[in-house]
C-alpha cells in the first residue's frame, strides 16, 4: 500500500530560507507527498507569502497565533498530520535543503524495513557537503544488532534532530507529540529518544540533506556569542527534564554534562563567565520544577479547550 506522506516545515521569520526550502522540496523525486508549512507567527511577511502560495500550489498552511518555538511548531504539525490520516510525516526546519533523491531513499528504506521503525533520519550535511556538526545522529550502542542493514545504509539510532526526520505516523500516534513546552532546544532529542526506546529507529545514510545554518559549529555555552546566551536556559532546563525520565543513570549523565559545561566555561569562555555558569545552574534548578505532560493527537490540550 502506498504511504500517504506529509512534509512538515516549521518556519519563523526566515522568508528567504523558507522559499528555498520549499523549492527544494518541490523538486523531490520519488513518492508523491503533500507539504504543510507551520508558520510560527512570523512578522517578516512569511505568512502572507505562504497564503499566496497556498492559493496557487498544493501547499497546506498552519498559522499559529503566537511563536511557540520549534517545539510548538512541530507538535502542532505532527498533530495535524496524524489527525488528517497521513501515514508518514517528514519533519524539517526552514533551513533544510533536501536533495532530489532524499525522500526516495527514505521511502526505499521504509520498504526494506516493511514499515517497522519509529523514525528514519537523513544524513545531514552543511552547505559545503561536510558533516553538519549541529545535527549529529547518535547511534545505538548496540547498533551491531542490525549490522546486516549496513550495506543498505541503515544503522540503528538513539536520537536525531528535526532536520529531515521521517516518522512512522502510527508510532507518533502511540508515543505522543513532541513536547511543545520545550519551546526550543532538546525537543527533538527527547522525542527521538522516546521513539527509539519503543521502536527500532535508524540513520538512513543514503538519504542526504543540507542544513543551511550560518556557521558549521555545534552549540557551546562556553564559546557562543554573549547575545545568544539566554536561549541556553532552555537547553539545560529541557535536558534535565529529558534525562530524569531514564532514572539514576540519566540523572548522573545530565549532572555530568552540566559539570563538563561549567568546566569548559571556566577554561575557554572569553567573557561573561559568571553569567554563563549562572545559566547552567539556573537551567538545572528549573528542570526539577519543569514537568510538562506528553500530549496525544486526537486529544485537545487544556489551553485549546478554553
pLDDT digits over 34-77, tens only? Answer: 999 999 999 999 999 999 988 766 799 999 999 999 999 999 99
Residue 301 has pLDDT above 70, yes or no: no
> Kindly report the CA angle at 215 between 213 and 219, in degrees rounded to 5?
90
* Of the candidates 134, 133, 89, 120, the residue with the CA atom closest to the CA atom of residue 192: 120
CA-to-CA dists, residue 170 to 21, 81, 106, angstroms: 26, 11, 17
CA-to-CA dists, residue 234 to 83, 195, 231, angstroms: 29, 22, 6
Residue 300 has pLDDT above 80, yes or no: no
For 195-234, b/e burial (b = at least 16 CB within 10 A) is bbeebbbbbbbbbbbbbbbeeeeeeebbebeeeeeebbbb
Q: Which three-class secondary structure state does DSSP give residue 195?
A: helix
Alpha helices (H) along 135-231? 169-175, 187-196
Give the DSSP letter of residue 152. Answer: G
Query: Predicted confidence band at 112 (pLDDT cuts at 50, 70, 90)?
Result: very high
Mode of pairing for the β-strands spanning 202-211 and 96-98: antiparallel
pLDDT at 302: 47
Half-sphere exposure of 263 (CA within 13 A, CB side): 6
- Mean pLDDT throughout 165-192? 98
- Mean pLDDT throughout 184-203? 98
Place of cell 550502542: 141
CA distance 245 to 266: 29
Amino acid at each position: 500500500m502506498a504511504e500517504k506522506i506529509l512534509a512538515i516545515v516549521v518556519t519563523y521569520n526566515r522568508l528567504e530560507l523558507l522559499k528555498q526550502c520549499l523549492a527544494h522540496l518541490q523538486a523531490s523525486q520519488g513518492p508523491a507527498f503533500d507539504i504543510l508549512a507551520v508558520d510560527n507567527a512570523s512578522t517578516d511577511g512569511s505568512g502572507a507569502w505562504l497564503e499566496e502560495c497556498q492559493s496557487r500550489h498544493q501547499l497546506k498552511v498552519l498559522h499559529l497565533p503566537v511563536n511557540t518555538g520549534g517545539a510548538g511548531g512541530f507538535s502542532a504539525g505532527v498533530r495535524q498530520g496524524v489527525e488528517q490520516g497521513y501515514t508518514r510525516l517528514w519533519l524539517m526546519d526552514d533551513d533544510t535543503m533536501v536533495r532530489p533523491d532524499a525522500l526516495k531513499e527514505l521511502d526505499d528504506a521504509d520498504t526494506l524495513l516493511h514499515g517497522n521503525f519509529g523514525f528514519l533520519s537523513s544524513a545531514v550535511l552543511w552547505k559545503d557537503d561536510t558533516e553538519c556538526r549541529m545535527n549529529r545522529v547518535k547511534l545505538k550502542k548496540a547498533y551491531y544488532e542490525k549490522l546486516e542493514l549496513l550495506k543498505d545504509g541503515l544503522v540503528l539510532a538513539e536520537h536525531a534532530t528535526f532536520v529531515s526526520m521521517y516518522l512512522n505516523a502510527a508510532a507518533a500516534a502511540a508515543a505522543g507529540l513532541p513536547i511543545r513546552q520545550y519551546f526550543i532546544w532538546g525537543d527533538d532529542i527527547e522525542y527521538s529518544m522516546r521513539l527509539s526506546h519503543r521502536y527500532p529507529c535508524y540513520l538512513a545514510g543514503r538519504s542526504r540533506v543540507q542544513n543551511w545554518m550560518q556557521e558549521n559549529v555545534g552549540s557551546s555555552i562556553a564559546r557562543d556569542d554573549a547575545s545568544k546566551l539566554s536561549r541556553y536556559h532552555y537547553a539545560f532546563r529541557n535536558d534535565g527534564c529529558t534525562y530524569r525520565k531514564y532514572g539514576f543513570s540519566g540523572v548522573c549523565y545530565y549532572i555530568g554534562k552540566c559539570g563538563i559545561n561549567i568546566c569548559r566555561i571556566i577554561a575557554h569562555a572569553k567573557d561573561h563567565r559568571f553569567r554563563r555558569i549562572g545559566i547552567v545552574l539556573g537551567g538545572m534548578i528549573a528542570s526539577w520544577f519543569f514537568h510538562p505532560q506528553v500530549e496525544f493527537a486526537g486529544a485537545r490540550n487544556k489551553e485549546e479547550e478554553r
